[in-house]
Amino acid sequence: MSEFSGKTILITGGTRGIGRACAAAFAKDGARVAICGRNDDAAQKAAQEIAAETNGEVRGFGCDIADASAVDAMVKAVSEVFGPIYILVNNAGITRDGLLMRMKSEDWSAVVDTNLTGAFNCCRAVTRDMLKQRAGRIINVSSIIGIRGQGGQTNYAAAKAGLIGFTKALAQELASRGITVNVIAPGYIDTDMTAFITEDIRKELLEKIPLKRVGNGEDIAAATKFLASDGASYITGAVLQVDGGLAM
Ligand code: NAI
């Protein structure tokens, strides 16, 4: 039996990419896994697939994390099905890249609303139950772009850097109640989000990665499991870079 057996975990954006790899890793270990995506059918379909692949307990919920009342309703539904949430992984995120001078206000807002306000909505919705349990793990998926910036991504960098400050403040609020709050900052990970990167740019990036490979969802899932584990109970407010050394 694993330490995650029977524990409830909510992973936002668990329908594909990094979130899906995390969902599979926790489902294999016997956790009760809730994933969400904007589209209800897609979330349920992905949950069924992950459950079949892992022989685990996985449910899908349709929810736009930028919508606070939808998040409250989803968290309530997850607790009703699986019991109170012990681990929250704020993974859902989007990009709308462009140079600042040409960036539309909608593209700024969409990225901040999803990547930063979405995490705020989810944390606020789960903390009541975590405070009652006097235990919990919150893991916020930022990015190395939130640490060092990137031209063409002012919106994304601002949201991801904001998530780091948010994490450190919340970690201080919740520490005395046995709840830890940490950040994972992935580097270049092979998912749909990075699928548009051309072969030339990919080669250039690989040159710059000291470990000489692109990351995958399993690399992030392993770090997430560590931060969610009992072994990480003395770690809070930390930023764990999982980037092959790219942002050293
Ligand atoms: P992806 O595009 O493959 O998956 C994103 C997931 O988020 C999808 O399941 C999508 O349905 C969900 N999502 C998006 N907006 C949502 C909303 N408003 N409400 C609910 N769900 C929503 O992306 P990927 O690569 O798996 O990224 C996951 C996280 O990791 C994101 O926060 C991303 O910013 C971050 N990240 C990814 C890197 C990469 O190289 N792929 C690098 C650094 C960070």
pLDDT tens per residue, range 31-51:
999 999 999 999 999 999 999
Candidate of 40, 193, 196 to mutate for ligand 1, largest count of ligand atoms within 8 Å of Cβ: 193
Query: Do the strands 239-242 and 179-186 form a parallel or antiparallel pair, or are they unpaired?
Result: parallel
How far, in Å, from the CA of 13 to the mean position of ligand 1? 6
Residues known to be catalytic: 156
- Neighbour-count burial of 234, counting CB atoms closer than 10 A to its CB (0-12 exposed, 13-18 middle, 19+ buried): exposed
CA distance 156 to 28: 32
CA distance 115 to 90: 9
> Does residue 247 belong to any structural domain of this protein?
no
Q: How many domains does the chain have?
A: 1
- Helix (H) or strand (E) run with residue 93 in it: none
Q: Given this model, what pLDDT does residue 1 score?
A: 87
Please name the amino acid found at residue 179: I
Ligand 1 pocket, CB under 6 A: 12-13, 15-19, 36-38, 63-66, 91-94, 114, 118, 141, 143, 186, 188-189, 191-194
Mean pLDDT across 176-194: 97
Dump pLDDT digits (tens) for 55-111.
Answer: 999 999 999 999 999 999 999 999 999 999 999 999 999 999 999 999 999 999 999
CATH number of the domain where residue 117 is located? 3.40.50.720
Mean pLDDT across 194-199: 92
* 119-123, 148-152, 201-205, 240-244: least confident range: 201-205
> Does residue 36 belong to any structural domain of this protein?
yes
Q: Given this model, what pLDDT does residue 213 score?
A: 96
Q: Given this model, what pLDDT does residue 229 score?
A: 98
Report which DSSP code applies to 113. I
- Expressed as residue numbers, the domain containing 34 is 8-237
> Does residue 104 belong to any structural domain of this protein?
yes
Query: Could you write out the DSSP letters of every residue in 170-228?
Result: HHHHHGGGTEEEEEEEE-SB-SGGGTT--HHHHHHHHHH-TT-S-B-HHHHHHHHHHHH
Q: Given this model, what pLDDT does residue 186 score?
A: 98
Task: Flag whether pLDDT at 18 surpasses 90.
Answer: yes
pLDDT, averaged across the chain? 98
> Does residue 89 belong to any structural domain of this protein?
yes
Atom of ligand 1 nearest to the CA of 66: 18
> Does residue 246 belong to any structural domain of this protein?
no
CB atoms inside a 10 Å sphere around CB 190:
17
> Does residue 1 belong to any structural domain of this protein?
no
